[in-house]
A and B are shown apart, each in its own frame.
Chain A
Amino acid sequence: MQLYQKKQNRVFALVLAFGFFLTSASSVSAELFPSDIPAIPSPDDVMAAIEARYHLNKESLQNQGENMNVSSTKGYAPEVSLFFSPSDPKEGEKITAKAYPIYFSNAEASMYYTWYLKHKGCDEDNSPSAGKKALCDADNNGKITVEDWKVEAERILAQNGYDNKTADYSSDPNDNDDYFAHFGGDTKVNTPSYCYVHDNDTGLNHELIKTDESSDCNHLFPNADSETTGDGKFKVGEEKFWGTNPADPSTANNGNKDEANVAGLGQSGFTWNYLIGDEVGVAVEGTSLYTTKYDDSSAMIMWAFPKKDCKPKNIGSKTVTVKGYSFEIPTAKMDLNDCIPDNLIDPTKGGQATNLSVSVTATPNDPINDSGDDKSGDTIIAQATVDNSGQNLTNISFGWKVFISDNIPAFANNKATEITDDLRDLGLLGNTRGNALDSIKLKLDIKDDGTVKLGGKRLSDYLTSGTGYLKFQANAEENFSGVITRKGSSDVIVKFTSSKDIITAYKVNAALADDTMKVSLDTSFGGKICDTDPLERTVCRVIKNEIVGLKVNSAGLTNFNWTINGTPLLCTARVSSDCAVIANNKAVDKDAQGNINYFPVTGNVGDTYTVTLTANDVATGKIITLTRAFNVVNPRVIIESVDKSVAWKKFLGQYKDVSGSINPLTGQLTCPGGFCDDLSESIFQTYSGSTPVFKSTFIPGFLGSLATKEWSVDGEAKTESNTGEINFLADKDVSGIYTVNLLAQVVQPENIRRALLDIWGITQFESSEINFASTVQVEIQTPLLIEGPLSGPRKYYAAIASYIPASVLFTFRIFLSAVLTIFTLSFLYSLLEERRIKTFVENFSRKQ
């Protein structure tokens, strides 16, 4: 009895454990279940949830079923493609046909390639003329059949150029060149053989059968008189018929025995002397990917023809019983040799590979490399064009290489240095391989110092008088059936000039001279503009009504010519004394333009000025071209926190960084885990009682010293604690907000405004002051809770708690409710016990 009780308890415990396991395990599929489901969890509800979770759509399921119904006719029947080299053979020239079979289960080398070659005029004929017999009757049986075509080809393969005039066929020397062919390929030993022909229309595979419905497998090998190829006996009569060397087991010297060569074992290539009108083909015998329905290890043995033109004939079906089940197998009664005339290929009629015709161009002419730090060099775009592609550009794979040398002949002599990888490492060149990559861009910002190596050398080692040559070579590949490719390549050589000179931009001073205002470069400290920020060194940001001074280092240069947006930019005596000489006590224009120039910014916001300077190199006489871009912008000012630990930008959320940008300093992802923090630009946060410090950042940067600034916090004016900075005590309560405002005003100095008027006729009404402002808010936050030290078991509890799925927690909660319920019921049940009630009643009566 006790034993029974224990057993019962164990079963009970198991049931309880199972219950908890079931509820917890079901939580694994927590996301299965949608909302709005009635209280009782019916199977339909759960199933509907599963469908919704996995997006199981009725139509899609039906579609799958429909596809499944016809899947047996959607298989991959064996195919073979032929490619010829050369593609435009001359008469008498050697031509090679290469067969590429696909959708066979065995290796190419173990399949049988029955080649056939039909010369012009050698059509099937039962009573050929004498001339036709002489040309076409290879087996000398008085008829022209496909056997003659096969013999013609297989003799070439078996002999492989062997001169059999001296061969002795009088006796069989037993040279061990016998070969036994297995159906379905050389490796299909002891495998049941069932041969099939595929119907391309219906997708059905028909078993080849005899009249008694037994399987009908026959190789397509050509046979010598009264002999059978591939029967394991290669007699001297066959040696003579095929013209092989009776004393050499492998006349073709390809490792195959002679009989194997006649059977075409692994002969995927066929080379012969082309005659005009020749047509060729191949029947490839192998084991297909289809398995048979017979109760054995067999797969369907099939033949592939180059035109896939082999329609089953005399079709029917036979009943087969396997494991007690009867079913029908489609059948055909036919000789596959009948398919050969329909599968002849003319080597000159397209479809075969030729070389791709590729040409490459590059722009611009005479590009400039910036060998300094300004990254203002030109971008060379090399563009490849394929003229004779048979496919879309997306199917052509391009591979690019870049070479460098100081002279053009080096490229032809293979003495140029390939620098593709070096340029990619420098970040100047992008992808160089890929489909449809028909152009590449090279940014000519190759620094000429010891830190940058091209092919292990400095840039200057490839330059002669500052000039070098780059060769852009494009290799194009077009793919056919994933097997063979057409290729082509071309290149273009680009001369480039390397210089580290840059047009330097300056603020200007203006002063009266002969009652008119003239300008000069502000060469004092801080006079240069757009000189430090890499972005501004590339495109200098300027504001309207500013006068920009320009200067280049004149050392080694002469014959300066300035243009701005393509039109001449002249510096005259009226503009500046830098562009004047004194003649008869009078300032007059210099006889030629110099290395200094000026222009007023009169365009609107968004306009771009491109200043170009061309000059001659004194040493080489070659033209040097320098450019500098200026972009007209609205003046802006940004308020930033000086100490981000005191006042920080408000965290708005996170966004997925799809660019995967890398921090160049650390080499790590800029956004860890691929998620970047989205921080507010106009709202800062700080703790109550702290003293945040804010600074102003102007765009363009040089306005910082030019602009007048008025700071205010909550409308109360603030004076700067340091240049461009303010601070204040943030002592509002939590959730309080401060509004920090900065009003800025930029007005050109009066001399500059007058210079604009005197020199370029820009009135003072057009050069008035510009006002702009920026506002940020500062929110007061609750100081963070101080986190206790995460040591000992607590850190493990915290980790476990944070990783427990919501479903498990919910289950735990429900179980706790269950325990509480049981406890309550148990308490109530005990309370209502008769003994306790009696005691209660007695105690109550006694008190009364």
Chain B
Amino acid sequence: MLRILSMYRRFIVTGMLVFFSLGFLIFFTESDALSPVLQKFIVSIVFFLVIPLLYSKIVLSESLKNLGFQKGNFGAGVFTGLLSVALAGGVVVWLALSFPSFHEQYTLPASVENSFLWFVFYELVLVSLSVLLYEVFFRGLVELFWLREFKWWSILIQAVLFFGLLALSRSISWQMVPLLIFCPLSGLIAYRSKSIWYSVVASWIFLFLTDVFFLIYR
């Protein structure tokens, strides 16, 4: 038993890190002295970005390449990324045309809808940052680092974890649909390219196009 533990210690400790990070994000107690969103923002950066990096470098003494911070397979990444964006975009368009409540409920903040400067800030800063956090944690740490041995199953498991986190932390709504649609595709891109950069760029492009589509559509 102990030998098995020793044999799979990397898998076990990394798994503990993943669940601890998710649990901490969902259940940590907020301080009254600070805005809750800011607190969660800080916690997300620390547990989705900083800790995975520290863990890889300090605890496991592994290269960050294992987290997907590498060039990887350029051709596979670009090809799969383009294909995923096209596929996900098509699904979004189909959903928007088929379900009126989708385009009614998928709203951007008023300032973003009405001010170009705010739109630029929103897309370049806020969307980029959140995409980076998701990709580093779910595609980098969970899929490429933790579940490396699970092959294709790793895509499914990271998607389930992502769905689970969303379900536990917030209600699933049309607002979340683009993220949910692209989650497995992003996992596919990362799996095929062995890098998270292609999934970061593809996710951002997809979310950006989705926002633009709904702005024009309305």
Asked if A798 CB lies within 8 Å of chain B CBs, one says: no
Among residues of B, the one whose C-beta sits closest to the C-beta of A48 is B109
B126 closest partner in A (C-beta): A43
Is A42 located at the chain interface by the 8 A CB criterion?
yes
CB closest residue in chain A, given B39: A810
Interfacial residues, chain B to chain A (CB-CB below 8 A): 2-3, 5-7, 9-10, 12-13, 16-17, 20, 24-26, 31, 33-47, 49-51, 53-55, 57-60, 63-64, 108-115, 118, 122, 126-127, 129-130, 133, 165-166, 168-170, 175
- Complex interface bits, A536-554 against B, C-beta within 8 A gives 1, otherwise 0: 0000000000000000000
Residues in A with CB closer than 8 Å to B64 are 8, 12
Chain A, residues 31-47, CB within 8 Å of chain B (1/0): the string is 11111111111111111
Contacts of B2 in A (CB 8 A): 837, 840-841
**B191: shortest Cβ distance to chain A, in Å?**
23
Answer yes or no: A811 CB below 8 A from chain B CBs.
yes
Partner of A19, one of B33, B34, B50, B118: B50
A27 B12 Cβ-Cβ under 8 A: no
The minimal Cβ–Cβ distance linking B47 to chain A, given in whole angstroms, is 7
Interface of B is mostly: helix
A-B residue pairs in contact (CB < 8 Å), sample of 8: A12-B53, A23-B45, A37-B36, A40-B44, A44-B109, A47-B118, A58-B114, A826-B59
Docked-complex contact B37 and A37, CB < 8 angstroms: yes
Residue of chain A at shortest CB distance from B127: A43
A47 in contact with B31 given A8-B63, A8-B64, A829-B13 (CB within 8 Å): no
Name which of A491-499, A508-516, A814-822 contacts chain B.
A814-822
Contacts A47-B122, A58-B114, A807-B42 known; list 14 others, CB within 8 Å.
Answer: A22-B45, A33-B36, A33-B37, A40-B25, A41-B37, A43-B129, A47-B126, A58-B110, A810-B34, A814-B43, A825-B59, A829-B13, A833-B9, A837-B5
CA distance A833 to B61 in the complex (A): 14
Taking the closest CB of chain B, its distance from the CB of A49, in whole angstroms, is: 5
Docked Cα-Cα span, A32 to B36, in Å, equals: 10
Task: Give Cα A36–Cα B175 distance, bound, in whole angstroms.
Answer: 17
**Is residue A57 contacting chain B, with contact meaning CB distance below 8 A?**
yes
| Known A36-B36, A39-B26: A65·B114 in contact at CB below 8 Å | yes
Q: How far is the CA of A841 from the CA of B170 in the complex (A)?
A: 46
Give the CA-CA distance A833 to B12 in the complex, in Å: 12
From A42, A832, A834, B12 is in contact (CB under 8 Å) with A832
A424-464 CB mask vs B (1 if < 8 Å, else 0) is 00000000000000000000000000000000000000000
Q: How many angstroms from the CA of A832 to the CA of B3 in the assembled complex?
A: 9
* Nearest CB of chain A from residue B9's CB, rounded to whole Å: 4
Q: A29 — nearest CB in chain B belongs to which residue?
A: B38
Which of B37, B57, B133 has the most C-beta atoms of chain A within 10 angstroms of its own C-beta?
Answer: B37
With a cutoff of 8 Å between Cβ atoms, the chain B residues found around residue A36 in the complex are 36
Q: Which residue of B lies closest to A57 (CB)?
A: B110
> With an 8 A cutoff between CB atoms, is A15 at the interface?
yes
Residues of chain B with a CB closer than 8 A to A49's CB: 35, 37
CA distance A267 to B37 in the complex (A): 66
Secondary structure at chain A's binding surface: helix, strand, loop or mixed?
Answer: helix
Most buried by B among A41, A51, A828: A41
In the bound complex, do residue B126 and residue A23 qualify as a contact, i.e. CB atoms below 8 Å apart? no
| Residue of A whose beta carbon sits closest to that of B9 | A832
Inter-chain contact A818/B54, CB cutoff 8 Å: yes
With the chains together, A744 CA to B40 CA distance in Å?
63
Instruction: Please measure, in the bound complex, the distance between the C-alpha atom of A30 and the C-alpha atom of B42, giving whole angstroms.
Output: 11
Q: A38-B169, A43-B126, A47-B126 are contacts. A821–B51 as well, Cβ < 8 Å?
A: yes
Report yes or no: A815 in contact with B46, Cβ–Cβ below 8 A: yes
Decide if B126 touches A818 in the complex (CB within 8 Å). no
Interface residue A26 (Cβ < 8 Å from any Cβ of B): yes
Cβ A51 vs Cβ B111 within 8 A: yes
A39 contacts across to B, CB distance below 8 A: 25-26, 40, 165, 168-170
- The reply to whether the CB of A806 lies closer than 8 angstroms to some CB of chain B is yes
Instruction: Tell me the chain A residues, 780-834 only, with Cβ under 8 Å from chain B.
Output: 806-807, 809-811, 814-815, 817-818, 821-822, 825-826, 828-829, 832-834
Chain A hits for B59, CB < 8 A? 822, 825-826, 829
Contacts of B170 in A (CB 8 A): 38-40
Q: Which of B6, B25, B37, B114 contacts A34 (CB 8 A)?
A: B37
- A37, chain B: closest CB distance, angstroms: 4
Bound-state Cα–Cα, A8 to B130, Å? 25
Query: A62 on the interface (CB 8 Å rule)?
Result: yes
Residues of B close to A20: CB separation below 8 A: 50
Q: Cβ of B20: which chain A residues have Cβ within 8 Å of it?
A: 821
The smallest C-beta distance from A95 to any residue of chain B, in angstroms, reads 56
B58-A822 in contact (CB<8A): yes
CA distance A44 to B37 in the complex (A): 11
Instruction: Find chain B residues with CB under 8 A from A23 CB.
Output: 41-42, 45-46
Nearest Cβ on chain A to B120's Cβ, whole angstroms: 12
> Is A833 a contact of B6 with CB atoms below 8 Å?
yes
- Please name the residue on chain A nearest to B111 by beta carbon: A56
Q: Which residue of chain B is the closest to A841 with respect to CB atoms? A: B2
Are B166 and A40 in contact, with the CB atoms below 8 A? yes
Q: Is A825 in contact with B36, judged by CB distance below 8 angstroms?
A: no
Question: Which residues from A are CB-within-8-Å of B35?
Answer: 30-35, 49
- Residues of B close to A818: CB separation below 8 A: 46-47, 50-51, 54
The 4 closest A-B pairs by CB, nearest first: A38-B170, A33-B37, A33-B35, A39-B169
Cβ of A50 within 8 Å of any chain B Cβ, yes or no, is yes
**Which residues of chain B are within 8 angstroms of A837 by Cβ–Cβ distance?**
2-3, 5-6
Whether B25 contacts A832 by the Cβ 8 Å rule is no
| B-contact bits for A1-33, CB 8 A (1 contact / 0 none) | 000000010001001100110110011011111
Bound form: Cα–Cα A19–B133 in Å: 11
Instruction: From the candidates B16, B47, B118, B130, name the one contacting A825 in the complex (CB within 8 A).
Output: B16
- Chain B residues, CB < 8 A from A826: 58-59
Contact A41 B17 (CB under 8 A): no
Chain B residues with Cβ below 8 Å from A652 are: none
Q: Please report the C-alpha to C-alpha distance between residue A815 and residue B50 in the assembled complex, in whole angstroms.
A: 9
**Cross-chain contact of A810 among B12, B26, B33, B58 (Cβ < 8 A):** B33
